[in-house]
Structures are given as structure tokens and as C-alpha cells.
Amino acid sequence: MALPKKAKIISAVLLLAAGAGVVLYLNRPESGALVQSTDYAYVQADLTTVSPQVSGTIARVLVDDNQLVKEGQLLASIDDRDFVIAVSAAKAQVAGARASIASLEAQLHQQESAIRQAQAALAADDAGLKLARENHARYSNLASDGSGSVQALQQAEAQLSIQSASREKSQAGLQAARLRVDILKADSEKARAALDQAEAVQDNAELKLSYTRITAPVSGTVGQKSLRVGVYVTSGKPLLAIVPLDAVYVTANFRETQLARVQSGQAVDIKVDALPDAALRGTVESLGPASGASYAAVAPNNATGNFTKIVQRLPVRIRINPGQAAAAKLRVGMSVTPAIRTGQ
């Protein structure tokens, strides 16, 4: 049965409208969608790798695989006998340096007494020299007018020479005593520098001793543990990782053509492959500053003339909203499918 002419016209219009709608839908920008989704996304966390800061043999291991630990908790210890000996030797050096300083300070006090003694001897020699000069002058006058003997004059001259020499000796002794003070002060400064060095060695030895106790730098769950009693470990070798499962987040790599309307604060619906019955919610926290290719060791640079454009992907960090029971089941590396509601 043939359709009426009016029905044919209506059918043609509807077909044309549907075709136009399909064309418009297929040619609309990808970023115009109200929901942007990707399956190139994973659960991540800022895990911390624990490494020893000194080399030695593991003496104790106090944690198990997948154990929850708190910040500052003792994880393991390295045999510390060599480090204890080093600390004792450093303390002995410090004690010796302090004893040297005390000895030099005592010598300085003693030298002050020696200086006063030398000053007193010089004063006595000055008095004796003055008397010898007066006696020499007196006997010279007596000898000149015949009242005194030549022998008495000679004795006065000898006494004057003796007193002059004694004064020079005392003066030289006073100068030597004063110079000795300068030497002792220089030795004291040297001893104090040696004490500072010895204390630095002691601090370093005590710091290395403290490194024999391997503690958790953050709270989280132990993973990738290679700690074993009796194993010799070297400084910087990773022993385990601590994963803060209470602070996991999602890193989603969206195509650049999807990001025109994506911004911080937008709501996200998250489906987890490992938890098909769970529906998590999150929030866009930030957008990455560069695509993954931008961080490559060798930057892509096709200069042969046959350029092929490749859509880049940029990372979007998504925060898991708190207060969701299913979030406790998330593990780092799980595949997820986030859907950002850009139309809100």
C-alpha cells in the first residue's frame, strides 16, 4: 500500500533531520561532552622507599610484609658493635682534648705567678743596682782624695758589674715569662680547635650509631620488603617501601582533546576494575603541567617530512573523597575508569 504524499514528506524530513543530527554529533568537539572519561588511569600513592644510611649486617627485623606501621616505628636494626666502639674512641679523644685545655689553662695561671716572681726579682735587682752605683760613686770619691783604698773601689766596681748583670738576667727572665704566656695562649687555641674537631668526630660517630636503628619515616603499609636477619646491607640500598594507603589518589591520562572544560574542583565518578560493585567519588585536584612525552629522555622530533600528528595525553590528578568505606580496599596500581562531570 502506497504511503500518502504527506507521510512521505514527513518521513523524508525526519530522515534528513536524523542525518543532520548524526553529522553534527560526529563532528562536534570531543571536549564538548558533559562527561569526560578514560580507562588509562591507575591508583597511585606517594610511597617512600626506606634505605639504610650506614652499611652493616642486619641484626633484627621487627616488621612483616604488608604490616601497618606508624611514623618513627623501629623497623629493623643493624649490628652496632663497630659503631659503639667508634663512639667510645671519639669520646676518649674529646676527653683527651679537654684535659689538654685544662693543662694549658693551669700552665697559664702558673705563668702569671712566674711573671710576678720575675717582676719582683727585677725590682730587687733595680734596688741592688742603685745601691751598687751609690757605693761605687762614694768609693771613687774617697779614692780620689786618698781617704779610701783602691781595694774598696775595686770591690765596689765588681759589685756594680754583678748587679748590672743580675738585672739584665732578671729583665730577660721577665720577657721570657711574658713570651711564654703568648705561646701558651696559642697552644690553648690549638687545643680548643682540636677539641672542636674531636667533638665533631664524636657527633658523627653518634649519628652513624643512630643510623643503625632503621625507623619508619612515614606511616603506611610495608611492601617490597627485602629485609632479612644476617644480610649485609649497604648504604642507600632499598630495603622496603612504605605505602600510605590512606592517602591514595588517581592519576588519569586524558587525551588533550578532552581537557578543554576540565578544571580543578569538578566531581568525578570512579569505577574500579577490582571492585565492580563499588562506586567511588572523587574530585579533580590538578592538571599536569606537561604531557608524558615531554618528560622523555629523547624528545620526539620528526624532521623527515612525513609528520604524523599524535594526540597527546596529559595526567590529571584526582583526589578520593573521604568517608567512603570502599576506599580502604584500594591498592596502588589498580586500574580505574574515572568520569569527570564537566557539565556541572
Q: What is the pLDDT of residue 124?
A: 72
Do 217 and 74 lie in one domain? The reply is yes
Q: What is the pLDDT of residue 1?
A: 47
Do 112 and 189 lie in one domain? The reply is yes
β-sheet bridge partners, residue 283: 267, 319
Do 258 and 328 lie in one domain? The reply is yes
Closest CA relative to residue 279, chosen from 324, 332, 335? 324
Report pLDDT digits (tens) over 232-291: 999 999 999 999 999 999 999 999 989 989 999 999 999 999 999 888 999 999 999 988
Domains contained in the chain, number? 3
Do 336 and 295 lie in one domain? The reply is yes
Do 273 and 132 lie in one domain? The reply is no
Is 22 contained in some domain? no
CATH of the domain at 313: 2.40.30.170
Do 74 and 192 lie in one domain? The reply is no
Is 152 contained in some domain? yes
3-state secondary structure of 229: coil
Is 2 contained in some domain? no
Is 5 contained in some domain? no
Is 178 contained in some domain? yes
Residue span of the structural domain in which 187 resides: 82-210
Tell me how far apart the alpha carbons of residues 122 and 116 are, in angstroms, rounded to a whole number: 10
Do 165 and 312 lie in one domain? The reply is no
Do 117 and 59 lie in one domain? The reply is no
Positions of the chain with pLDDT under 50: 1, 26
Q: What is the pLDDT of residue 29?
A: 52
CA angle 68, 224, 328 (to 5 degrees): 40
CATH of the domain at 67: 2.40.50.100
Do 332 and 277 lie in one domain? The reply is yes
β-sheet bridge partners, residue 286: 317
Is 252 contained in some domain? yes
Residue indicated by cell numbers 591520562: 253
Do 68 and 98 lie in one domain? The reply is no
Residue 284, Cβ density class (10 Å: 0-12 exposed, 13-18 middle, ≥19 buried): buried
DSSP string, 158-179: HHHHHHHHHHHHHHHHHHHHHH
